[in-house]
Structure 1
Amino acid sequence: MLTRRTFVRAGGAAAVAGVAGVAALETGTVPGRGRVHQLLGLTGPDGVVPDVPAGPVVSGTFASRARRTDVGYSVIYPDGYDATAELPVVLALHGRGGDHTSAINDLGMDRFLTATVRAGTPAFALASVDGGRDSYWHRRANGNDPGFMIAQEFLPLLAGRGLRIARYGVFGWSMGGYGALLWVALHYWQRQVGPAARAVAVGALSPALWHRYEDAQPGAFDDAADFESNQLFGRPNGFRDVAARIDCGRDDPFAAAARDLRTELDADGGQQPGLHTGGYWRRMLPDQLRFLGAKLGG
């Protein structure tokens, strides 16, 4: 017969088991923590593209020697500014599988930019460019070199449009978040662009980061030597005099590495409820764009 005392004991044991289960989920020892958090509503709301007008967008292509192909690009201006406005610029580096259109088509960055400027952030333009769908924004064994493309081809193109590149920003998400941080760490603007152009701020959402080559996404690097040459950890001097912000959802597979790099660099940002999704990136875009615009305008 099930007595009250037996019932209480059983309930207590179940409660303990439940707490232990939650603790295991929180420490990542149980697979599917992100899915459980999503079902429980613990990953936060998806960001919504602002209901504001988009500004002018100028798109085109250029023949890239560095990438050995024709490269597409888009320059995005906030509403109220025309396509000849002489504004500071933030480079927007797309994620894996994307291209220069992803900033608008996937994240709505044209309207986020307008909303950011209307809210009082000094005006700036966004410039997106094709880096290769799985290049991870560094020189590859096949000769594709998106970093050199930005330095020697894209930044001069932007300057030719009247955009101010003496002090510019770099931003990216996922693969592009890694690429934006790598751009700063490797001193591309010093080694390849020269003193007339300098990155002063970098923002990364859910950057694709790994401590070890063995853990990296297949195809992200040519080999272990390539991984070590393009490693971000242990290079704090590369970020000297560059304001950095790194945000990552707590249930993102890159959360731990992003936290470690943010701590190493003493960067702004943090871990918020979220997954490795467009919904999380859209939610965090306003904070990232305000950060970058304020640094460029400061």
Structure 2
Amino acid sequence: MSGISRRGFLAAAGVLAAGGGAAALVEAGVLPGKERAARALGRCGEMPAPPAVPTGPVQEHTLRLGGESVRAVIGRPPDARPDSRLPVAVLLHGGGGNARTPFDAYAIQNYLADAVAQDTPPFAVASVDHWYRDGLVTDHLLPFLADQGLETGRFGLLGWSMGGDGALRLAAEQRARVAAVVATSPAIDDAKARAYARRLTGIPVWAACGSHDSFADPTERLLASLRDAGEDPEGGIYAGCHDAAFRRKMLPRQLPFLGPHLTGSAD
């Protein structure tokens, strides 16, 4: 059966039997264009305003990699003492993003400050340009963060889209060091979802995707596969699309998940 999976064929048959036409097939995800149709119909949702709270410092640094330099950005919660060795979550941007994206597009410094104000244990967040370069996070960013006074023996991961895939992969590769991993709209397929689920047992996972996002089914598969393996992942499929609005909406759920795992205070 070329061009459509067996599951897609069965879904198509069900939609047609119910009297649906081409538009219904798009909405069901059988035909391409589901997110485009959702956007045209105003179903993706508006960009939420970030919490109106005082934020902690956001500092930009330059890492030297031989004859090259890349940018790293560190955000801390308000009132963090300079000598406090805060744990850290490494942020992995999506395709076309950079180290500033989590701060400029997603306002993560506002959501971090708000989460800590509501009793999430404090932690820092850090990002780097071109995180996907081999060894950049483990061999360069993490030692630099340790030099900046952050605790990196165990760290968290949070990634969006391509960075969601990267967060899951890095967590699987660095099992002993990863306290928790969050993947938003991860750019994965069903095969990767199953493979990651096998390798992420024992690591707290929070994964989510928009209902109109083409990566919703693999994300659901990841969560189901983890549950089949006896794990208890958090997250799910929520209304939304593959965009910054959805990613901002998830932060108030994700940062309170990360904090207790990073600080060892999770139940």
TM range (shorter): 0.7 to 0.9
1:43 deviates by: 3.2
1:41 deviates by: 4.4
Q: Distance in 1 between matches of 2:42 and 2:17?
A: 22
1:30–1:153 distance in 2 versus 1, CA, 3 Å:
closer
Q: Which residue of 2 aligns with 1:37?
A: 38
| Equivalences for residues 1-298 of structure 1 within 5 A | 20-21=20-21, 23-65=24-66, 69-131=68-130, 137=132, 144-145=133-134, 148-187=135-174, 198-211=177-190, 231=192, 233-266=194-227, 267-297=233-263, 298=265
Q: Distance in 2 between matches of 1:232 and 1:19?
A: 33
Q: Distance in 2 between matches of 1:285 and 1:124?
A: 14
Q: How many residues align?
A: 243
Conservation of the 8 A alpha-carbon contact between 2:169 and 2:196: no
The one-character-per-residue Cα deviations of 1:3-25 (angstroms, maximum 9, x if unpaired) are xxxxxxxxxxxxx9996246434
Q: Distance in 2 between matches of 1:209 and 1:129?
A: 22
1:159 deviates by: 1.2
Structure 2: 5+ residue stretches without partners = 1-15, 228-232
Conservation of the 8 A alpha-carbon contact between 1:249 and 1:272: yes
Conservation of the 8 A alpha-carbon contact between 1:56 and 1:83: no
Q: Distance in 2 between matches of 1:232 and 1:182?
A: 10
Identity, % of aligned pairs?
Answer: 35
Q: Distance in 2 between matches of 1:81 and 1:279?
A: 28
1:129–1:84 distance in 2 versus 1, CA, 3 Å:
farther
TM-score (norm 1): 0.74
1:85 deviates by: 3.3
Q: Distance in 2 between matches of 1:51 and 1:75?
A: 20
Letter in 2 for 1:161: Q
1:111–1:84 distance in 2 versus 1, CA, 3 Å:
farther
Conservation of the 8 A alpha-carbon contact between 1:177 and 1:206: yes
Conservation of the 8 A alpha-carbon contact between 2:34 and 2:214: no
Structure 1: 5+ residue stretches without partners = 1-15, 138-143, 191-197, 213-230
1:241 deviates by: 2.1
Letter in 2 for 1:253: S
Higher-Rg member (1/2):
1
Q: Distance in 1 between matches of 2:82 and 2:162?
A: 28
